[in-house]
Amino acid sequence: ETAEQHAAFEARIQRREKIEPGDWMPAEYRRQLIRMISQHAHSEVVGMLPEGEWIDKAPTLKRKTILMAKVQDEAGHGQYLYHAAETLGATREDMIEALLTRRAKYSSIFNYPTHNWADVGMIGWLVDGAAIKNQTMLAGCSYGPYSRAMVRICSEETFHHKQGKEMIVLYAQGTPEQRQMAQDALNRWWWPALMMLGPHDADSPNTGVLSQWGIKLKTNDEVRQEFLNEHAPELLEAGLTIPDPDLHQDAAGNWVHGPIDWSEFWAVIKGEQGLGNERLATRQAAQDEGAWVREALEAYMNRAAKGEAA
Ligand code: FAQ
């Protein structure tokens, strides 16, 4: 890596040009993107698990169809993102191994259990809501394949967000049991949703370089503020109680939350709290059970290659 190469790259970033797969890029730019995109892909795939458990328990055919489509979308997002990481030289095998050996993370939010049907709605409203704020920002990022993936993924997440909000608003105005179910879901998902947008800026080691290179266009706290400003008033309007006694609006109109328990966040990521170990065991089982499919594909491709040569 020469100083000239770095200078030319920085100038491209300054001009807000998209960086494309074959272009020269600093090794650290490539490493950061592979880290982020692969962790994002893992999150989509592990993210199928909490909601997937409810497909055979959905209360109506309509809700079941919507949930099946949503979970299937998450699988598609995972594939899309693994491909985006592959454009940077990452291999699927290495990325999956990194997930299964905890070398790579995935979003903390998917280590929380789903206890009642309203959790499915609350995940749509809050988790997809938070993901959209983060990903709308990433749609403007400097790496072409990632930014384009985000445009498509965000439009699907918008449907996920709407179905969740519609469901929760309906239950919040429903029978006492339905209202209680929605409130219980909010009580459990509120703080994890705030945490999923990442540690406070002062404790975020990657934000500096990611911002410098136009990968992150907003900091974790800025995205969290956007999420809070949209969702706090809407949840209150739906008649629900946000489980934060310190929540208030400041003079500028921004909603301000109370202190976040970051020890819970790190414990959940490490698998010391929540379902981290179960989630990874499920992924490991899927990997093992899929081995014969990968072997068959490889045998087929080898045979096809030999056939072409003959
Ligand atoms: N969970 O320096 P920072 C979805 C880690 S997709 C676990 O601030 P950065 C769709 C971070 O990796 C949700 N780890 O990191 C859906 C780093 O560790 P490392 C996923 C977290 O990269 C909806 C360390 O902490 N979205 O929900 C978390 O600047 C419904 C220090 O943090 C993406 O992945 C966390 N929550 O900012 C699916 C979007 N937060 O890697 C199904 C792409 C931080 O150095 C159902 N990623 N860490 O070992 C990003 O935008 C960024 O990576 C952030 C973190 C904002 C997540």
Kindly list the protein residues whose Cβ atom lies closer than 6 A to any atom of ligand 1.
Answer: 35-36, 39-40, 43-44, 47, 74, 105, 107-108, 123, 127-128, 131, 134, 138, 196-199, 204-207, 210, 220, 269
The protein residue with its alpha carbon nearest to ligand 1, atom 31, reads 204
Q: pLDDT at position 310, please?
A: 52
Residues 281 and 253 in one domain: no
Provide the pLDDT confidence category of residue 309 given band limits of 50, 70 and 90: low
Residues 238 and 295 in one domain: no
The protein residue with its alpha carbon nearest to ligand 1, atom 34, reads 40
- Kindly give the distance from the C-alpha atom of residue 40 to the centroid of ligand 1, in angstroms, as a whole number: 7
Domain residues for the domain of 202 are 3-273
Q: pLDDT at position 1, please?
A: 86
- Kindly give the distance from the C-alpha atom of residue 109 to the centroid of ligand 1, in angstroms, as a whole number: 10
The protein residue with its alpha carbon nearest to ligand 1, atom 32, reads 204
The protein residue with its alpha carbon nearest to ligand 1, atom 54, reads 198
- Kindly give the distance from the C-alpha atom of residue 212 to the centroid of ligand 1, in angstroms, as a whole number: 18
Residues 85 and 199 in one domain: yes
Report the C-alpha gap between 136 and 194 in whole angstroms. Answer: 17
List all residues 6 or more positions away from 108 whose beta carbon is below 8 Å from its beta carbon: 192, 195, 196, 265, 268, 269
The protein residue with its alpha carbon nearest to ligand 1, atom 12, reads 105
| Cβ-contact 276, 268 below 8 angstroms | yes
Q: pLDDT at position 307, please?
A: 83
Indicate whether this complex's ipTM tops 0.90.
yes
Across the range 84-92, mean pLDDT stands at 98
Residues 295 and 181 in one domain: no
The protein residue with its alpha carbon nearest to ligand 1, atom 53, reads 36
- Kindly give the distance from the C-alpha atom of residue 198 to the centroid of ligand 1, in angstroms, as a whole number: 6
Average pLDDT, the chain: 97
Instruction: Say how many domains are in the chain.
Output: 2
Residues 12 and 134 in one domain: yes
pLDDT at 48 exceeding the cut of 80:
yes
Residues 191 and 306 in one domain: no
Nearest 5°: the CA angle 165, 170, 175 is: 145
Residues 93 and 31 in one domain: yes
Distances (CA, A) of 45 to 28, 51, 78, 138, 200: 26, 11, 6, 19, 26
Residues 284 and 223 in one domain: no
Across the range 79-107, mean pLDDT stands at 98
134-154: pLDDT as tens digits = 999 999 999 999 999 999 999
Residues 165 and 282 in one domain: no
Residues 288 and 173 in one domain: no
Distances (CA, A) of 174 to 35, 67, 244, 254, 258: 44, 21, 24, 30, 29
**Ligand 1 atom nearest 40 alpha carbon:** 34
Residues 199 and 288 in one domain: no
Q: What is the CATH number of the domain that holds 214?
A: 1.20.1260.10
Residues 96 and 241 in one domain: yes
